Amino acid sequence: MKTLNFIILSILICTGNFVAQTTDQDKPGLNIGNIAPDLDLKNPNGDNIKLSSLKGNIVLIDFWASWCGPCRRENPNIVAAYNKYSKSKFKDAKGFKIYSVSLDKNKSAWENAILKDKLIWKEHVSDLNGWASQSATAYGVRGIPYNFLIDSEGRIISKNLRGIALHQQIDKLVKSL
């Protein structure tokens, strides 16, 4: 029997019909279920923050800029989500974080927008390259605001959530009492 299993496995491998244990979803990508590409950008103080350092949490990767009117109008909703979920208990995560990726070129405009819009979380990052940002390219961002919601393992759960849709998606992840 072992010999027969070995022969069948050998045939499957040789003919390309063998499915490896890793799937396309185990590779970084931008589709629902893919591992989100890691980012490593500087905060306003010049310290690097890796997206992967937030693993274990539900994370909203939020692409925005200080000069973007729709982004600034969506910021109160992002703040409300942070205030609502940062202290919530989740089914499969230790918490909720926001990884704000700014497409600004002007550092002071970026910092002023963070203060003015009361974006109180710590994970604000940018390479200050505007649309030439490698992070925007890595995530295929062609318009902002744009976001990705990832689970505690770093897998993309949902994309481009705005308004109540953001809250509804996160609500599904909260532990019920």
How confident is the model over 105-164, as pLDDT tens digits?
999 999 999 999 999 999 999 999 999 999 999 999 999 999 999 999 999 999 999 999
DSSP label at 174? B
Residue 104 near residue 110, CB atoms below 8 Å = yes
Q: Is the pLDDT of residue 10 over 70?
A: no
Return the pLDDT at 6. 42
What's the average model confidence in pLDDT over 88-112? 97
Nearest CA among 86, 55, 79 for reference residue 150: 55
Return the pLDDT at 27. 73
Instruction: Calculate the CA dihedral of residues 84, 88, 90, 95 and round it to 10 degrees.
Output: 90
Q: Is the pTM of this model over 0.75?
A: yes
- Give the torsion sign (CA, 152, 171, 110, 143): positive
Residue 57 near residue 96, CB atoms below 8 Å = yes
Residue 47 near residue 133, CB atoms below 8 Å = no
**Domain ranges in the chain?**
26-171
How confident is the model over 14-71, as pLDDT tens digits?
444 444 444 556 678 999 999 999 999 999 999 999 999 999 999 999 999 999 999 9
Structure-token pair, residue 12: 């499957």
Return the pLDDT at 12. 43
Would you tell me how many other CB atoms lie within 10 Å of the CB of residue 2?
6
Structure-token pair, residue 31: 């589709």
Return the pLDDT at 4. 43
Four-way CATH pick for 26-171: 3.40.30.10, 3.40.50.300, 3.90.550.10, 3.40.640.10: 3.40.30.10
